[in-house]
Amino acid sequence: IIEGGADGSSDTTGSFESSTMFANSSAAFNNFTANITKPAGTDIQMQIAVAQAPPPGTSCDGATYTFLGPNGNSTAYFTPNGETITGQVPFGSFSPSYQNPAQCFRYRAYFSTDDSSFTPYLNDITVNYSQ
């Protein structure tokens, strides 16, 4: 999953945090669909974060993110169903810095494998929002 350590070994877990999607004005982030490849013995899970752009609200630089799973739970994860991960983006405010609607969106993917010869893949993600 994360290959090329100092000793040339591979880790069996890793994560990826996306760059920020800036909606320009306040948006209600509704749902997402991630297309994945998940070989046997591997797993991939996701969390999402929605945050308000700091004043003057023209970029997400300096925004603080709280990553959540289903129902606004910070210890829960969106999980695969076949070759996709889909979910409703939690609506409302959750402590300490999650707010939807807002302007800034990120996701985090968590990867794991039982055999470092095989790894799950996050192929792409589509986010639905309305302004």
Distance CA 84, CA 95 (A): 28
Residue 1 clears pLDDT 50, i.e. is over it: no
Report percent pLDDT > 70 for the chain: 92
Tens of pLDDT along 60-112? Answer: 999 999 999 998 999 999 999 999 999 999 999 998 999 999 999 999 999 99
Which burial class, exposed, middle or buried, applies to 51 when counting CB atoms under 10 A from its CB (0-12, 13-18, 19+)? Answer: buried
Residue 19 clears pLDDT 60, i.e. is over it: yes
Quick one: tokens of 65?
């993110």
Residue 9: its pLDDT value, please?
61
Exposure string for 92-109, b = 16+ CB within 10 A, e = fewer? eebeeebbbbbbbbbbbb
Residue 6 clears pLDDT 80, i.e. is over it: no
The whole model's pTM is what? 0.89
